[in-house]
Amino acid sequence: MKYFDTLFLSVRNLWRRKLRTTLTIVGVMIGTCAIVVMISLGLAMNKNFLEQVSQMGNIMQIQVYNWNEGGMTPDGKKIEPLTDAKIAEFAKMKGVEGATPIMDLGLKMVVGKYVGWVSILGINPDMFEMLDIPVSTGRGLTGEDTNHAVVGEYAKYNLYNPKSSRWEPAPEDLNLMEEKVTVSWDMSYGEKPYPGQPTPKKKVKPVTIEVVGMVSQSGGQYDYSIVMPLETVKKFKKEQDKFNQGNGGGGGVIIGRAGSSSSGEKEGYYQAIVKVKDIDSVTEVMEQIKAMGYEAYSPIQILEQMKEQSAGLRQILGGIGITAFVIAAIGIANTMYMSIYERTREIGIIKVIGARLGDIRRIFLMEAGWIGIFGGVMGVGLSLLASMALNRFNINLGGQIMWMPQGEGLQSSYIPVWLMLAGAGFSFLASLLAGVLPARRAMRLSVMKALRQE
């Protein structure tokens, strides 16, 4: 028997029992819908976690700190400094997209008559894009940049007029991209020396930096900082050290954390960022870095915890969905059995006129399969509607971190394309399974008995 003929015949058989077929399909539809919606709730929960955790920082980035330098790793090796070579080693790990040291240098920023302390973050400029620093205007750093800088939105709030007798901060509308911005390693630059302070022996001329972009509120360390190429920051650091020595070591008032970062080649850096290619490798890469004795942090740790805590709820939801579907599948089996009883004689007839056992099994399996496909597709449609309704009325079943503000785009139900396909596919397969026993029964009907039945 040709495949198409079997298809055609099975559709026809369903069509002549319209009411019962429809009722069965509705059952499957509701079952599929139950599964898909329940799973979508769980998915939305995870998605919300991810979204909220991402607000805490980039989930694909691992912050590496070298707090234990000189100590021992758990397996007894000496913890080495976080040098360029080490960071290159991170970058070569499986699943890692790139790694950059972060060098933190406190300098004086000078804009017109305003001065202020600022933290300069030196990064590998090739890595700028990978760090996902949200640039609102202008551009990010590239490999060719030298004295170019990307400035945080809030960096200007440190600026004030030192000549003024009262506190005079820089105006709100100061646009650093249009102003001439300079930095100086003389931390007392432009300040009125307070009584008793030794005046610097040498004066330094502030260095002009070119602001090429602004960082909009990233919620992280970039908001108050200036991001510049690593090499330039290293140069600044050397100049600053020279200046400080020339002034009898710490001649200026050193504010900030200038001393906490070191210049790299030998002593190693204090901090590095490792960017990972996909979420799944974050934990693994973190473990590797920790095994080397460094501290590693990523928001993913919080995410994993939350997922673990909500796993029970998700399993219950899934269980409810599967129960609903099992009931629908029993409905299919029931419908198929009923139709075999009704069509006993017909099965006998087609056996007599030459239907093979396989033909009969295929016809019945296909009927069950059609119910599954129609029910499944309609069930997915219904789920999409239900999902829309849930999202519109914002019914929350958890998945919200209590101490986080309600984030944008949080959903109650989330149906990705794979779930739609899986829902319809599952419905089809489960229906086929429900059709197996009835089809076998039809196949094994004795011709003589079937024909005798009126």
7 vs 93 by CB, closer to another protein: 7
In a 3-state reduction of DSSP, which class is residue 120? strand
DSSP 172-231: TT--TTTS-EEEES-TTTTSPPPTTPPPPSS--PPEEEEEEEEE---SSGGGGEEEEEHH
359 sits near another protein (criterion: CB under 8 A):
yes
Shorter beta-carbon distance to another protein: residue 352 or 388: 352
Q: Does 349 bind another protein (CB under 8 A)?
A: yes
CA torsion through residues 306, 274, 87, 154, sign:
negative
Total of residues contacting another protein (CB under 8 A): 23
Pick from 183, 306, 336, 355 the residue near another protein by CB under 8 A. 355
Rounded to a whole number of angstroms, the minimum distance from the CB of residue 6 to another protein is 9
**Residue 363 in the binding site for another protein (CB under 8 A):** no
DSSP assigned state of 159: -
Q: What is the rounded radius of gyration, in angstroms, for the C-alpha atoms of the chain?
A: 35
285 or 355, CB closer to another protein?
355
- 443-448 long-range contacts, CB within 8 A, separation 24+: 443/357, 443/360, 443/361, 443/364, 445/340, 445/344, 445/347, 445/348, 445/351, 447/348, 447/351, 447/352, 448/348
Q: Of the two residues 291 and 448, which places its CB atom closer to another protein in the complex?
A: 448
Strand partners, 116: 109
Region from 185-193, 284-292, 307-315, 443-451 binding another protein, contact rule CB under 8 A? 443-451
Closest CA to 70 of 237, 264, 268, 296: 268
Q: Is 16 in the site for another protein (CB under 8 A)?
A: yes
449 binding another protein? (CB under 8 A): no
Q: Which of 211, 212, 273, 350 binds another protein (CB under 8 A)?
A: 350
Using CB under 8 A as the binding rule, whether residue 177 contacts another protein is answered as: no
State which of residues 330, 357, 388, 395 lies at the interface with another protein (CB under 8 A): 357
What distance separates the 2 farthest-apart alpha carbons in the chain?
A: 121
What is the smallest separation between the CB atom of 358 and another protein, expressed in angstroms?
7
Q: CA–CA separation, 63 vs 275, rounded Å?
A: 9
Using CB under 8 A as the binding rule, the residues of this chain from 111 to 170 that contact another protein are none
Question: Which CB sits closer to another protein, 16 or 242?
Answer: 16
With contacts defined by CB under 8 A, name the span among 103-111, 285-293, 328-336, 446-454 that binds another protein. Answer: 446-454
Toward another protein, which CB reaches closer, 326 or 447?
A: 447
Amino acid, res. 322: I
Is position 235 an interface residue for another protein (rule: CB under 8 A)?
A: no
CB 390 within 8 A of CB 413: yes
Region of 292 on the Ramachandran plot (φ > 0 left; ψ -120 to 50 alpha; else beta): alpha
Judged by CB under 8 A, which stretch of 126-134, 277-285, 353-361, 396-404 contacts another protein? 353-361
Which 3 state secondary structure label does DSSP give 155?
A: helix
Chosen residue from 196, 354, 405, 409 binding another protein by CB under 8 A: 354
User: Does residue 353 interact with another protein by CB under 8 A?
Assistant: yes
Q: Using DSSP bridges, classify how beta strands 114-123 and 225-229 pair: parallel, antiparallel or unpaired.
A: parallel
Q: Does 351 bind another protein (CB under 8 A)?
A: yes
Contact set for another protein, span 316-345 (CB under 8 A)? 345
Q: Per rule CB under 8 A, is residue 12 in the interface with another protein?
A: yes
Structure-token pair, residue 358:
């396989």
- In the 8-state DSSP scheme, what is residue 453? -
Binding site for another protein (CB under 8 A): 1-2, 5, 9, 12-13, 16, 345-346, 349-359, 447-448, 451
